Structure 1
Amino acid sequence: MVAVLREVTAAPFANVRVDPAVTMSLLQRAAKDQATLVISYLDAAGVATQRVVAPITLRGGQLVAFDSSSGRLRDFAIHRITLVVSAHDR
């Protein structure tokens, strides 16, 4: 997990947006497979961050996932997710 966080910090995501349908598909698959992902996320102020998350479910336009940075469950607005990659591919 620490290695993934180091890689994400060392190589931030470019200004690339993934197709919303692709995002939904990847998030649903990860929740089903209990896979860990790295997401690029824009907060309400437009600040981009990278998060290592374990998706639980999708509901009402939100991704419910365990966020390794905060150590708790969080809701992420799906329309603010700009990139999704497997944590194991990093």
Structure 2
Amino acid sequence: MDWGELADATVLFPSFSGTEDGALPDLPTERPVWTVLDPANDTGLKAQMANLQGDIACSNPGFFVRGEGVIVDATATVEAGAYLIGPCYIGPRAT
């Protein structure tokens, strides 16, 4: 099926410049962007998350963590009472 521009990552995510801080997903350019969501895809988000290294580097004012693979940048803000279920990545200056 020809999805045209609808399947293009640059059309769906125009604010991604590729120069952002932190880890960015490697979005496919040769196939529809949503193939990155397939958990069986060896280049999908699940596989990309498994390759990230890190831990919870910000202060914990009372948020809850469940599961493995939770990475929070030291400059991120996570509200008290939030539930972070791994795998989860919260990058620099996220609020």
Give the TM-score band, short-chain normalised.
Answer: under 0.3
How high is the TM-score relative to the length of structure 2?
0.25
How high is the TM-score relative to the length of structure 1?
0.26
Q: Larger Rg: 1 or 2?
A: 2
Larger fraction in helix: 1
Whose relative contact order is higher, 1 or 2, with alpha carbons under 8 Å and at least 6 apart?
1
